[in-house]
Chain A
Amino acid sequence: DTAVSQTPKYLVTQMGNDKSIKCEQNLGHDTMYWYKQDSKKFLKIMFSYNNKELIINETVPNRFSPKSPDKAHLNLHINSLELGDSAVYFCASSQLTGNTEAFFGQGTRLTVV
């Protein structure tokens, strides 16, 4: 039973398109995250939501908009996709408290052509 699941696993799209990546966790965690892993494998946090409320919003273009309909879901919508958006995007969840062991989704490889 997958703890953190994100869909799709692969996404190939043309520049200028709008796309969404969905994430769901069944762990009962309060906090969910979106990370971007670039071609050098470096992971960078993009957003963090706690109980549907945005708590971390790192410097990412406005074209990226997270949406949390409930605390088990955190979707990432990207408008006007650019070549530089190509990366692997990871969703993760953790509990609210400091022992923030994060559970990760399998990742979504986004390729913009």
Chain B
Amino acid sequence: AQTVTQSQPEMSVQEAETVTLSCTYDTSENNYYLFWYKQPPSRQMILVIRQEAYKQQNATENRFSVNFQKAAKSFSLKISDSQLGDTAMYFCALAMDSNYQLIWGAGTKLIIKP
């Protein structure tokens, strides 16, 4: 069975600091995809970043980057120069080629303090 684990229920940092959210997963498949989604207080789910498992290079999107360690099955999200608008729930998710389902982590509540 595939699983996604986010071990940090809540984190808070000062504005402009760098923060890393952890995510580990388990799957026996070779072809899969990993995502970080953001859910601000508005509840809208927003895709932050995506990583294909076959790519060795870590994905980056502006201030957001991942540290993808395939052997360790780890997929952490780094947010640089954090902003107040980054305050949200962050969900790590796993998708396989073999089915349609997204496997979700429990989420990490991130608070950026002014």
Instruction: State which size class the interface on A falls in.
Output: 20 to 34
B62 within 8 A of A: no
Residues facing A in B57-111 (CB within 8 A) are 89, 91, 93, 95-102, 104, 106-107, 109
Most chain B C-beta atoms within 10 Å of own C-beta, residue among A33, A90, A99 = A99
**Contact (A40, B96) CB under 8 Å given A106-B43, A106-B44:** no
Is B31 engaged at the interface, CB distance under 8 Å to the other chain?
yes
Residues of B in contact with A, size category: 20 to 34
Given A56-B100, A98-B95, A100-B33, are A41 and B44 also a contact pair (CB < 8 Å)?
A: no
With A56-B100, A99-B52 as contacts: A41 and B95 at CB distance below 8 Å: no
Task: Report if A107 contacts B (CB, 8 A).
Answer: yes
Looking at the assembled complex, report how far the CB atom of A38 sits from the nearest CB atom of chain B, in whole angstroms.
10
Least Cβ–Cβ distance between A2 and chain B, in angstroms: 10
Interface residues of A in 75-113 (CB under 8 A from B): 88, 90, 92, 94, 96-104, 106-107, 109
Q: Beyond A48-B101, A98-B97, A100-B95, is A107–B44 a contact (Cβ under 8 Å)?
A: yes
Partner of A102, one of B102, B107, B109: B102
Check A100 against B42 for contact (C-beta < 8 Å).
no
Confirm or deny: B11 has a beta carbon within 8 angstroms of a beta carbon on chain A: no
CB < 8 Å: which of B33, B89, B93, B104 contacts A98?
A: B33
CB distance from B2 to the nearest CB of A (A): 12
Cα–Cα, bound, A24→B66 (Å): 32
Contact in complex: B96, A98 (CB < 8 Å): yes
| B29 (CB) vs chain A CBs: closest residue | A98
Interfacial residues of chain A within 8-27, with CB under 8 A of chain B in the complex: none
B52 contacts A41, C-beta separation under 8 Å: no
Q: Are A56 and B101 in contact (CB under 8 A)?
A: yes
A interface residue numbers (CB < 8 A to B): 31, 33, 40-45, 48, 50, 55-56, 88, 90, 92, 94, 96-104, 106-107, 109
